[in-house]
């Protein structure tokens, strides 16, 4: 199995990283391509319309490698913390740069078949994570559709300001079981 991870936290040892690592631990034989949004050199989309004409962005940066990894993946894992009820800015910039994929998929009438899986791992400091993530879910669904992926689930780990739950391994097994469902 080939997994593409899109990690949207600046904290490599924080709550989101620990949750992601626990889930990745369920796939010891997987080939993993990990992209940390905070470390990527990705220029923001400027809405120039070049991708409408050519199907590709004129910018050459770290999006090229990510795009290739997303296309090759069997499973896409997107992991990030909620910042001010939203997706952290570096990760949102990466998502915005997926506009060429939108153009290729929808602007050119390409039929979308779900041929891979995607799962979202979200951490939230407060206990009211459902309200905090509501606005994100439409964006995440759109990301899944762009990459022809069936959303296998979205796990929100809330109240992390009070610490991490002790049962991370059990949680990771639950996530892996959800991902294991057939397409």
3-state class of 107 per DSSP? helix
Taking the whole predicted model, whether its pTM rises above 0.85 is answered as: yes
Strand partners, 150: 117
Number of domains in the chain: 1
Residue with tokens 């490599």: 12
Q: What is the pLDDT of residue 112?
A: 63
In this prediction, residue 159 has a pLDDT band, given cuts at 50, 70 and 90, of confident
Closest alpha carbon to 80 in 169, 173, 143, 1: 143
Closest alpha carbon to 122 in 17, 16, 35: 16
* 125, pLDDT greater than 70: yes
Domain span including residue 29: 2-179
**CATH number of residue 41's parent domain:** 3.40.50.360
Q: What's the average model confidence in pLDDT over 102-125?
A: 82
């Amino acid at each position: 199995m080939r997994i593409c991870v899109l990690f949207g936290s600046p904290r490599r040892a924080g709550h989101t990283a620990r949750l992601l690592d626990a889930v990745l631990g369920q796939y010891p034989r997987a080939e993993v391509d990990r992209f940390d949004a905070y470390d990527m050199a990705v220029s923001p989309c400027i809405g120039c319309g070049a991708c409408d004409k050519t199907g590709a962005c004129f910018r050459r940066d770290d999006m090229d490698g990510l795009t290739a990894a997303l296309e090759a993946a069997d499973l896409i894992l997107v992991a990030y913390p909620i910042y001010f009820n939203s997706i952290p800015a570096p990760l949102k910039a990466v998502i915005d740069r997926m506009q060429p994929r939108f153009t290729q998929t929808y602007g050119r009438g390409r039929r979308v078949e779900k041929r891979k899986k995607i799962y979202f791992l979200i951490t939230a400091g407060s206990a009211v994570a459902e309200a905090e993530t509501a606005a994100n879910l439409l964006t995440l669904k759109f990301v899944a559709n762009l990459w022809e992926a069936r959303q296998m689930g979205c796990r929100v780990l809330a109240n992390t300001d009070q610490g991490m739950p002790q049962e991370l391994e059990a949680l990771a097994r639950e996530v892996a079981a959800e991902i294991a469902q057939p397409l």
